[in-house]
Chains A and B, each alone.
Chain A
Amino acid sequence: MRITATKRLVRCAVAAGVGIALAAGVAVGKAEAKTEDGKFLVYYSMSYVGNAWQTEAKNTVIAMAKAPQYRDRVELRVQASGPDAQKQIQQMNAMIAAGADAIVAFPISPTALNKVIRNACNKGVVVAVINGVTEPCAYVVKIDGVALGDYRTQYVIDQMGGKGNIVAITGVPGVSYGEDHHKGFKQAVARHPEVNVLAELVGMWSHPEARLKMRELLATHSWADIDGIVAQTGCYTVSQMQVEDGWWPDNPIIPCAGESANGNRLQMLPVDSGIEGALGKTGQSIGSGLWAVSYTFKTAMEVLDGNEDVPHLRWYTGVEVTQDNVKLCETGSAEEFAAGCNTIKPGIVPPDYAIDFWSPQVPELGFRAATEGMLDDES
């Protein structure tokens, strides 16, 4: 028994040794990276696959890489790592090994990726990150979560007339942007002693979750108890619930400030517009920046093109849409968005579809970019 056990150990050590030797044997420097046809090789490392937002983000990056100024110079490859930080680290490292010139990443964790990013920087790979990592060599495109939370909350409190019960629907607990947003919420509420926080619901940035949590709250409260809602995601859903429960049209929809879901904006259209889902509600819709994903790609390209003045941290703010400036698009082309439309007709996209893929910083992208990953003029 003992003999075989020892032998087994030895045998396995040999197997491990073979692996290491294999590795060491081939450890020669890698050739200068670029794809065979001389294009820049850019990777997009997404984390989750599985919600509409992430798919839209992926599509906009794909579309952006087809823009005339990049079309002939860039090869874009997209990879997903799943919800595990270790895997994203491994994936990004594999991208470096595969000869990436730039990596655009949507990080699972703002801190866990620091090392692999530093490593990429050391190897001359440009890393551009959406919504922030703490590694200073990365190019970070980031929204100010605290400011956004404060701004949204202030809007709702103004609509409430400065007093009453407010409900917050937060994001995924433990994620920086969500926590920052909630800090902003608290900070705004603290300025108004007559505003009472009725509940803080964990919405997980998901409409079904927002609905479940809201139903839990409504088990013990009624709509009449709520005067305003600040939702990181869920304004569309909570407004829809008020219709289902018959609270509307006898009462106005409770003011809600939140996400850029198409349904949320459609609800702001006047009822007499005849558009399905229009409620004429008072509300505010500011995206957390779908467009910033393709903007991050642009940032990476700027750096690759040799622009040394690109700042390592770019703050951005979302486009604000309220009942006063909500406007329906006809075709959803980039030009139309540039002319001021900001909502897609119902039925074409699901109501939770984030609609802030266009912004003055990424004027190339229309509706097709987010749905199909194509530019307007593409056939």
Chain B
Amino acid sequence: MSEVPLRSLPRLSWQQALARNRRLLVAVTAFIGIFVCLDVISPGPISYFEINFLSSNTGPLAFAAMGQTVVFLIGGFDLSCGAVLSLVNVIMALHTTDSLWSQVLMCFAGLGIGAAVGAINGFFIAYGRLQPVVVTLAVMFIILGLNLLLMPDPGGYIPYGLSMVFTGDLIPDGFPAALLVILLALGFWALLKRSRFGTALYAVGSNEDAAFANGINVARTKFLGYTLAGTFYGAGGVFLSAQTSSGDPLVGSGMLLLIFAATILGGTRIGGGEGGCLGTVFAAFTLMLISNVLIVLNWSPHVMPITEAVILLLAVIGASIGRDTSLAEYWRVTGLKISGLRHRSLPSFHTSARSNAGKLATSWTPRASDELSGPALWQWTTKNWDVLRLMVPAWTLLVVVYILVVVVIGGESVSVHYLNSLLTLALFLAVLGLGQGAVVLTGGLDLSVPHTLAFTGVVLAALCNGMDGPAYWAVPLVLAIGVGVGLFNGIGVVLFGMPAIVVTLATNGIMQGAGLLFTGGIPTGRSPPALVWFFTERLAGLAPAAWFLIGFAGLAYVVLHRTTFGRRVFAVGNSARVARLSGVRVDWTTLGVYVLSGFCSALAGVLMTGFSSVSFLNMGQRFLLPAIAVVLVGGTLAIGGRGHYLGIFGGAVLLTAVGTLVSGSELHFAWRDIIFGIVVLGAVLTLRERAS
């Protein structure tokens, strides 16, 4: 080492080093904690065999979560990872033969497929400048459909040799092969992290503009980041195939939430720039071991979702303990406020400014433009083009789909009846679209919708039990529950400064557990007849629900676009900092959108109970991703600040129309997912902001 370093960085004190690695430390501590805890509470000692099994079983999750970690690091979000896992699994199970060459080739093919999907994601996100949530949601839908086309039901075969490479013993009774594979991947990551590309990943995630200013090719880094993530998913898929030695088109979808949990628990920050794969791998092990702990504790299965949610919340709070947290900041500010009370001058009570009365009247007659000429409609369109262009794709596609419905199916598609069906079915998505839309407009995401919806539904049905009487207080009560859930989410986001995805994911688990405990697993009761009437009666050709939708859309438009609250939502979404400096109470506004979303989930639960006439614990699940899709198709920017309710409304009707097209025609059902994906991607592509 004769070279003299140009500049040596000061050595960190151990406190500083600790602070730097706090997130990683929490992940490692959680793992060691749960491991020791398990060893203490389980009847026998933990054997080598169990370690081997744990390693090979955690492998797929660990790899998939490593991919997600890379995506998180560059400030992204990837919904397609579970689907990619299944895709690789399905293709490998279908095409691997016993020859050594085939096995080796298919392993690389698996990586290649993952990388290819990642590259597609990366291309649209980095070069197409589309939002990660939209692209990966669309890709996820398309791949899910593709998986079912390739392999309609589980089967296929993976040779024993390939399985053994990943899940056998490196040293019999000494070292599991799976652990070696994971360690190799971690070694690869360690090297990569210290390379130029690794630095670029972290730099882009920390601050894109700063990275760009320092000569980093941001687009290329993002593209390669997604491709790398895809390769990790591919590896996860190969591992999964080896571990299950067969194919299952649904196997990856169930892992999606677990992958997020592992990434977040591993200490990688949503939004980028902080974290790494090592913590993720530890977190993956921890999550798997939770099952073992639950077995030993022998708790009721109904408590399981709550337990997992609480663990996730605790881990995230644990990772962010310190003086610089939002909660600490709130304490400080509240303390200042209280101590400042003594020095405060008395508030002066303003009387209404009488001098202005009558002088500031709104003039409703359109002002003649001195720049635009031509017909009034043209002038209006030109002036409002920025807003209109958000709605154009959804409504145009709606017309296209409707024409397809008329041409392909015919039947009763040209009638008030069709309009009625379309509107009543779109109602749920339109209601959820308002809540989810408001949250997305501030740059968040609400994943607590499914079980909030289901919980309010089962509670309502149980309380009313087929009578209208209790509905007068039961409906307000369950709507209040929705508000309460929203409040909980909002407090988690605002006061504790936790990522919206984590809080709402945990809330969803808690609500699932609450529903199970409330019903004992079997929901009873029926919807009040008035709610059933809402969907079955006809008033001037349309069901009351359809009229309600029209009224709701108008109200939602006013809330989002004609109130101070609505304006603040947009302000917060555009830039929370600017909004704060402009005097917007960012915290109250953020709290408000989550409350609105909770309320909308509960309202959808009430409506769904009326629609089905009974309630089910799983009736909310199918609405989550379509509701997000509706928001995005409607022109809402996933990072917030741009959107319009009438676009979201159009999106809700559009997706419903696609549903009637697929259900009414002889199209294979797998095409529903694929069409969904293409519609989402297509709509957003046309919405793309022109590169400046």
The chain A residues found within 8 Å of chain B, CB to CB, are 1-5, 8-9, 12, 15-16, 18-20, 22-24, 26-31, 43, 46, 49-52, 54-56, 58, 77-87, 89-91, 93-95, 97-99, 108-116, 119, 134, 170, 172-176, 178-180, 197, 199-202, 204, 206-209, 211-213, 215-222, 225, 237, 240, 244-245, 349-353, 371
Nearest-CB residue, chain A, relative to B155: A111
CB distance from A371 to the nearest CB of B (A): 7
Within 8 Å CB of A52, what residues of B? 521-523, 616-617
Within 8 Å CB of B17, what residues of A? 4, 8
Contact residue among A3, A28, A50 (Cβ-Cβ distance under 8 Å from B618): A50
- Number of B residues, CB within 8 Å of A: 113
Known: A27-B47, A50-B617. A219 touches B288 (CB 8 A): no
Instruction: Known pairs A93-B57, A216-B659, A218-B421; list 14 more (Cβ under 8 Å).
Output: A18-B32, A23-B51, A49-B305, A50-B512, A78-B300, A91-B292, A109-B251, A111-B156, A115-B163, A115-B245, A173-B148, A173-B249, A208-B612, A244-B536
Chain B residues 147-181 with CB under 8 Å of chain A are: 147-148, 151-156, 163, 167, 179
Contact residue among A97, A199, A207 (Cβ-Cβ distance under 8 Å from B50): A97
Chain B 47-60 interface mask (CB, 8 Å, partner A; 1/0): 11011011001101
Known: A49-B302, A86-B61, A109-B250. A1 touches B9 (CB 8 A): yes
Contact residue among A8, A20, A77 (Cβ-Cβ distance under 8 Å from B51): A20
In angstroms, Cα B412 to Cα A215, docked, is 13
- Decide: B46 and A174 in contact? CB cutoff 8 A: no
Chain B residues 195-249 with CB under 8 Å of chain A are: 243-249
Chain B residues 14-40 with CB under 8 Å of chain A are: 17, 21, 24, 28, 31-32, 35-36, 39
Contact residue among A78, A175, A216 (Cβ-Cβ distance under 8 Å from B301): A78
- Decide: B39 and A26 in contact? CB cutoff 8 A: yes
Nearest-CB residue, chain A, relative to B410: A220
Within 8 Å CB of A201, what residues of B? 663, 669
CB distance from A91 to the nearest CB of B (A): 5
Known: A30-B47, A175-B250. A50 touches B288 (CB 8 A): no
- Decide: A352 and B616 in contact? CB cutoff 8 A: yes
- Decide: A84 and B254 in contact? CB cutoff 8 A: yes
- Decide: B51 and A24 in contact? CB cutoff 8 A: yes
Give the 8 A-B CB pairs with smallest separation, nearest first. Answer: A55-B521, A80-B301, A111-B246, A219-B421, A26-B45, A179-B153, A216-B663, A94-B292
In angstroms, Cα B148 to Cα A170, docked, is 14
Nearest-CB residue, chain A, relative to B163: A115
In angstroms, Cα B341 to Cα A84, docked, is 54
- Decide: B521 and A15 in contact? CB cutoff 8 A: no
**Is B666 an interface position by the 8 A CB rule?**
yes
In angstroms, Cα B296 to Cα A98, docked, is 7
- Decide: B660 and A350 in contact? CB cutoff 8 A: no
Within 8 Å CB of A218, what residues of B? 421
**Is B611 an interface position by the 8 A CB rule?**
yes
Contact residue among A55, A90, A119, A213 (Cβ-Cβ distance under 8 Å from B520): A55
In angstroms, Cα B76 to Cα A159, docked, is 56
Within 8 Å CB of B413, what residues of A? 219-220
Within 8 Å CB of A20, what residues of B? 51, 179
- Decide: A173 and B669 in contact? CB cutoff 8 A: yes
Known: A54-B521, A350-B524. A49 touches B663 (CB 8 A): no
**Is B418 an interface position by the 8 A CB rule?**
yes
- Decide: A245 and B251 in contact? CB cutoff 8 A: no
In angstroms, Cα B381 to Cα A255, docked, is 54
Contact residue among A119, A179, A180, A209 (Cβ-Cβ distance under 8 Å from B622): A209
- Decide: B418 and A112 in contact? CB cutoff 8 A: no
Chain B residues 41-95 with CB under 8 Å of chain A are: 42-48, 50-51, 53-54, 57-58, 60-61
Within 8 Å CB of A12, what residues of B? 24, 28, 278
Nearest-CB residue, chain A, relative to B295: A94
Within 8 Å CB of B617, what residues of A? 50-52
In angstroms, Cα B47 to Cα A30, docked, is 8
In angstroms, Cα B156 to Cα A81, docked, is 24
**Is B510 an interface position by the 8 A CB rule?**
no
Within 8 Å CB of B245, what residues of A? 111, 114-115
Known: A27-B47, A86-B60, A90-B292. A49 touches B304 (CB 8 A): yes
